Structures are given as C-alpha cells and as structure tokens.
Chains A and B, each alone.
Chain A
Amino acid sequence: MKPPPFRYVRPDSVEEALEVLGEHGEEAKVLAGGCSLVPMLNMRLARPEVLVDVNRLEALSGVACDNGSVTIGATVRQAALERSPQLRRELPLAAACTPYIGHFVTRNRGTIGGSLAHADARGELPLALVTLGGSVLAQSQRGQRSIAAEDLFVYHFTSALAHEELLTAVHWPAAGPGWGYGFAETAQRHGDYALAMVACALARRDGAVVEARLGLGAVADRPLLASEAAEVLVGQDLGGPAGDGAVAEAARLAAAAAEPFDDLHASAAYRRRLVAVLGEQVIRAAWESASGTSGSAG
C-alpha cells in the first residue's frame, strides 16, 4: 500500500507542465487532488514514471462567469461547488450533485477537472457536465482544443484526452431564467459509488417545458444523455392533467436507454428500475425548481 517509485515534477507554469507531458507521453500522469490517482498508486494499479503535480499552477485555479457560462479552472476543489455562493447560484445542478462526491474531507482536495479527466462512469461531475452540455479545454504543446462533454467520456476511466494533453478548464452553461434542475442518486451508503443516478435540466415557459435534458450515470460505461426521453417532456405542462403521463413515459424511456450491468452490488434490472424511479423524481424536481419563472423570460 505504498506508491511505487516515480519522478515527481512540480512545474511552475502550464507551458512547463505541457513540456513534461509532451516528453513523457503515457509514462506521465497528472497529479491534481490525488483522490483517485493516489489510491491507484498505493495499490500499484498505476505505475507512472513521472508525476506532474499541477496543484500550484495559478492558471488552473480561477473561476470566471460571463455570457451565460462559467469557466472553472481544472484544479478548483470540488468543495467550491458547495461553498461558493456564486457557483451555487450559477451552477445549481453541479452544486446539487457535489455532496454525493466522496466525502466532506475528499471534496476539500478533489478537483473538478480531476473528476472529469478521471472519467469514472459513476462520477457525479461527469454526469452533470454531460447533462448541461458543457465542455472542457485541453491544452498540449501543439495547441488547445475544446472537447464537448458528450465526446469527452469514451469508456469507464477513459477520456478523449490524449496522453500529452492537460485538461486546463471546464466550461459550464450557467443557469438561465426559467431553467430548473434535479439530481438524485442511490448508493448503498452516502459517499459510496452510485448504483444509479439521474440528472435533469429543463426550461419552462408559459406553463410548459420548452427544452429538456436528461442524463444517466453509473448505468453504462460512460454518462449517457437520454435524448428521446427528454424529448417527450417538451411542450408538456408537467403540473397539468397530462403531466404525470409525460413524466412516467420519459422515465420509462430513460430506463430503456440505460445500459446497466450486473455486479456484486446490484443487478442490471435493479439499476434500470432505479433509473425510472430516480428519473421521475428529478424531472419533478426540475419542473418545480423552474416554476419561479414564467412569461417571456429566457
């Protein structure tokens, strides 16, 4: 339970970090909060030759809000989503799922960018980013590119980031007028990996849903968008007589879209059922939280 030997590098600039990553490629690993990487080192599941500690790079630690989007530096701690009034206001969905990421103590250290780069199919932040349609900024010595959340998560623990690329920032669409959000997950114990989780973002105008997004987590090898299910909600007054039917149909389609698996903790059928149950809850929660705004807003 001790890390294997490696060379530790603490670059003073993003350029220097990219240089090290460019030179060592897949033999180098980026060290951010260490909440996933260090256990993997301790258990000898990872044996990088070089660790690139990005925790002190100022350029990765900022937060900026403008034009309806929030840009969060890769090393901003998960705890910021719970504690910053600004982030809670601008990113209610990410804030709602944050208490489920590990534990109070690990969220002090775990980073937002690290959670995304780690690409755990059961991760809360990957699900939130996919549901909101956000993106990340990846830099390498060859330049930079934006990767949409839907393209970032390839497979469990596998992101679209190249070995020489560093995830430097995350772009989140900010909460707009008329939008509401819901998040729910089921785990055996608080802080454990979820058996299933569902997130919903929807816009409500003049008593009906005008736009809806539904994301499913821990029920496939990556977070999924249940687009067909979300489509059912559009045009519906979820508080009206047909509302229950629309919510149930969306939840049914979401469960059908899941690609769950059997394991020690739950059967695939149980996970699929959870998606339907949690789906109804989060759609209702999103509708209710969007209810404060009406008329021509948005």
Chain B
Amino acid sequence: MSSHSEIAVTVNGRRYREAVAERMLLSDFLRQRLGLTGTHVGCEHGVCGSCTVHLDGAAVRSCLLLAVQTDGADVRTVEGLADGERLHPLQEAFREHFALQCGFCTPGILMAAADFLAHNPAPARNEIAEMLAGHLCRCTGYAPIIDAIAAASGSGAE
C-alpha cells in the first residue's frame, strides 16, 4: 500500500500539478516524472551532492526531500540555470577552466556554487574548497573546479 498526494510545484518557472507517491524522493520526481535528468543521483543519502537543486532559492539535496514536501514551492534544477541559450557565468567558467570531465557531479556543484556565491560573492579559495567538501568528484582533483568558481565569483580571484 502506498499513499498518494497531489502537489502543485513550479520547476524552472513551469507549473506542474502531479499526483505523487508520498514516499517518492524529489530527485526521482524530477528525473522520472518530469524528465529533468540533469539532476543526478549518486548516493541517495545526502553525501555525494550530485542531486543538489534549489528549493525556494536555497541549494538542497533533492534525495533528502520528498516530492510531496515541495507542494507550493519553487524548484530550480540545472536545466533552469542558463538564461535560454546564454550559459550561466558558472557554466561558462566551468567550460573555460576544464572543471568537468565525466560530468556526473557537475550539475550538483553548479547549483551549490550558485547559491554559495549568492551568500559569499568573493570567497577565498579555501572557502570554496570547504564548500566543495560536500560534493564528490572522481575526475578533476577539484583544482579546476575551484578555479572556475573563483573566476565566476565577484572577486574573480584565482
């Protein structure tokens, strides 16, 4: 037996009204129901960071939220980061600095970094590294990611 609830949620500016199983994770809702597969699912217990999205403007782990909890909320995924064809400055910086290789961790890091820079517009490199401790990347060794976030930040410090 599993109970269902109807939710009304805005994702990347588009409104959805969906019936969801109460135990459905937000990450699965985004990927399976809405087809927004940019949100990646790695560990499903809040450790790897790849499922990070914005909930009412704040970066959160979508694997630690139930879809039903987003009723009435505003969700933004990596698909909503660019302004149409124009990439977000973080996306540009990631491309410029080779801050991704396989790309699995990238959407989560982009979403976390966007919120991080909103609160800390000119972070020191060690602050960026500390923020990145919540995101597992097995390809880059992190250095180019730090470069990219620093370049996209207000200070542009490298």
Contacts and interface: CB of A to CB of B under 8 A. Distances in A.
Interface of A: 1-8, 10, 33-35, 38-39, 41-43, 51, 53, 55, 79, 83, 99, 102-106, 108-109, 189-191
Contacts of B69: 53, 55
A35 B1 contact: no
Closest 5 pairs (CB-CB, A-B): A103-B134, A39-B45, A1-B44, A8-B22, A190-B133
Contacts of A1: 44-45
Q: Which of A1, A53, A102, A105 has the most chain B CB atoms closer than 10 A to its own CB?
A: A105
5 contacts: A1-B44, A10-B68, A103-B134, A104-B115, A106-B64
Contact of A5 (B1, B5, B28): B1
B51 to A, nearest CB: 10
A36 to B, nearest CB: 9
A291 B57 CA distance: 40
Given A39-B45, A55-B69, A104-B131, 13 more contacts: A1-B44, A5-B22, A8-B23, A33-B64, A38-B63, A38-B64, A38-B65, A38-B66, A42-B44, A104-B134, A105-B60, A105-B115, A109-B61
Nearest to A191: B133
B83 interface: no
Contacts of A106: 46, 61, 64, 134
Contacts of A2: 23, 25, 28, 44
Interface in B56-78: 58-61, 63-66, 68-69
Nearest to B111: A105
Contacts of B5: 8
Interface of B: 1-3, 5, 22-23, 25, 28, 44-46, 49, 52, 55, 58-61, 63-66, 68-69, 112, 115-116, 119, 130-131, 133-135
Contacts of A4: 23
A43 B45 contact: yes
B134 A102 contact: yes
The binding surface of chain B is classed by DSSP as mixed
A189 to B, nearest CB: 6
Nearest to B4: A8
B50 to A, nearest CB: 11
Contacts of B55: 109
Contacts of B46: 35, 38-39, 102, 106
A53 to B, nearest CB: 6
Contacts of B3: 5, 7-8
B64 A103 contact: no
A104 B116 contact: yes
Contacts of A189: 133
B22 A105 contact: no
Given A8-B68, A35-B46, A189-B133, A105 B112 contact: yes
Given A104-B134, A105-B59, A108-B59, A34 B23 contact: no
A102 B64 CA distance: 13
Contact of A103 (B25, B49, B63): B49
A34 B61 CA distance: 10
A60 B1 CA distance: 32
A193 to B, nearest CB: 11
Contacts of B1: 5
Contacts of B65: 34, 38, 109
A42 B131 contact: no
A13 to B, nearest CB: 17
B64 A39 contact: yes
A55 B44 CA distance: 21
Contacts of A104: 59, 112, 115-116, 130-131, 134
Contacts of B112: 104-105
A80 to B, nearest CB: 11
Contacts of B59: 104-105, 108
A7 B22 contact: yes
A106 B119 CA distance: 15
A142 B115 CA distance: 42
A144 B23 CA distance: 31
Contacts of A7: 3, 22
Contacts of A103: 49, 131, 133-135
